[in-house]
Amino acid sequence: MSLSHRLPPGAAAVDPYYVYAPRPDPQRQGVLTLFVAGLPDDVKPREIHNLFSHRPGFDHCLLEYTGRGNQAVAFVTFFTHESALSAMTSLNGTVFDPETGDRLHIELAKSTSRRPRGGGDIYRVIDKRANRTEGNADHENIGDEEAWGEDEDGDSDNNGGGSDEPSGTENENSSDKNEFPAEQSDQPGHKQQNGQSPSNDGRDKSSSDIPPCSTLFIANLGHACTEDELKEVLSKEPGFHVLKMRRRSGMHVAFADFTDIESSTAAMNSLQGTVLASSDNDGLHIEYARSKMRKS
């Protein structure tokens, strides 16, 4: 059907990593926009449009070249929450560029994108790159951060201001293809440790080239991971003090502070790779933080 589903020989046809838990994130219910990461830096707006526009319930999309990490993200908006979820579950994990094998990471966005005013431009683009080598830089400043309505307040009247919202096309088949996975164990006791004994007090260079630090950087958290869930696991580690979670380019990361480098090192060694109940991917990825957490 779609060329985006064609996988190179030898690649797994179905990637279980991207089967999302059926339990919906209550904070994101009603959001009509998908957040799409894992795009190559030379992605074109047309490619995003081609991939999503024939999905049932598609409304509009926005491509942003972030100034960071040479990567692009997209915000794709649907007419209904259900059609957004349906597109997410069927396209998540798609190999976008067979040459690199990189897969799309799709999740619900923080909030619904604002509908483009006027509806003139088909392809909305924000380009924050310093060196714009691409030819489509002519779309540049079309509203900066406002373009997808990210409010720190998380107010519910984000899109309430748009009185010109056309609602005529709203009920084109939104739930004709509910292909959600049936069940998945999400009991809180489901986490699995990797069996390291805490007697490993010595410094370890398992954290690449970042110098040891009493604060740990924790990544690869599932989209549904909560601060409480992570805190419960960390609390069992000697010397644990404070946890702070943040969201960066759509992914959760966390910082955990310990009394000293010895305890942070031991905690990193024992928790590395831990699979939480909320994981939608491999286990935790833990490194020393680049700087120590500020003393409260």
Partner DNA sequence: AGCACA
Q: Is 292 an interacting residue with respect to DNA (CB under 7 A)?
A: yes
Q: Which residues, 214 to 233, sit near DNA by CB under 7 A?
A: 215, 217, 219-220
Nearest by Cα to 92 from 181, 216, 165: 181
Residue 149 vs 222, nearer CB to DNA: 222
Q: Is 248 an interacting residue with respect to DNA (CB under 7 A)?
A: yes
Sequence length of the chain is: 296
Say if CB 55 and CB 78 are below 8 A apart.
Answer: yes
Residue 75 vs 217, nearer CB to DNA: 217
Residue 66 vs 90, nearer CB to DNA: 66
Q: Which range touches DNA (CB under 7 A), out of 4-12, 150-158, 191-199, 246-254?
A: 246-254
Q: Is 171 an interacting residue with respect to DNA (CB under 7 A)?
A: no
Q: Is 129 an interacting residue with respect to DNA (CB under 7 A)?
A: no
Given 90, 255, 261, 273, the residue binding DNA (CB under 7 A):
255
- Annotate the chain with three-state secondary structure: CCHHHCCCCCCCCCCHHHCCCCCCCHHHCCCCEEEEEEECCCCCHHHHHHHHCCCCCEEEEEEEECCCCCCEEEEEEECCHHHHHHHHHHHCCCEEECCCCEECEEEECCCCCCCCCCCCCCCEEEECCCCCCCCCHHHCCCCHHHHHCCCCCCCCCCCCCCCCCCCCCCCCCCCCCCCCCCCCCCCHHHCECCCCCCCCCCCCCCCCCCCCCCEEEEECCCCCCCHHHHHHHHCCCCCEEEEEEEEECCEEEEEEEECCHHHHHHHHHHHCCCECCCCCCCCCEEEECCCCCCCC
Given 2, 249, 259, 260, the residue binding DNA (CB under 7 A):
249
Given 41, 210, 227, 236, the residue binding DNA (CB under 7 A):
210
Taking the complex as a whole, the smallest distance from the CB of residue 94 to DNA amounts, in Å, to: 15
Q: Is 259 an interacting residue with respect to DNA (CB under 7 A)?
A: no
Q: Is 205 an interacting residue with respect to DNA (CB under 7 A)?
A: no
Q: Is 69 an interacting residue with respect to DNA (CB under 7 A)?
A: yes
Q: Which range touches DNA (CB under 7 A), out of 90-98, 171-179, 187-195, 251-259?
A: 251-259
Contact pattern for DNA over residues 26 through 45, marking x by CB under 7 A: --------------------
Residue 123 vs 255, nearer CB to DNA: 255
Taking the complex as a whole, the smallest distance from the CB of residue 278 to DNA amounts, in Å, to: 15
Nearest by Cα to 30 from 115, 157, 179: 157
Given 30, 101, 244, 259, the residue binding DNA (CB under 7 A):
244
> What does the binding site for DNA look like in residue numbers (CB under 7 A)?
68-69, 105, 210, 215, 217, 219-220, 244, 246, 248-249, 251, 253, 255, 257, 281, 285, 287-294
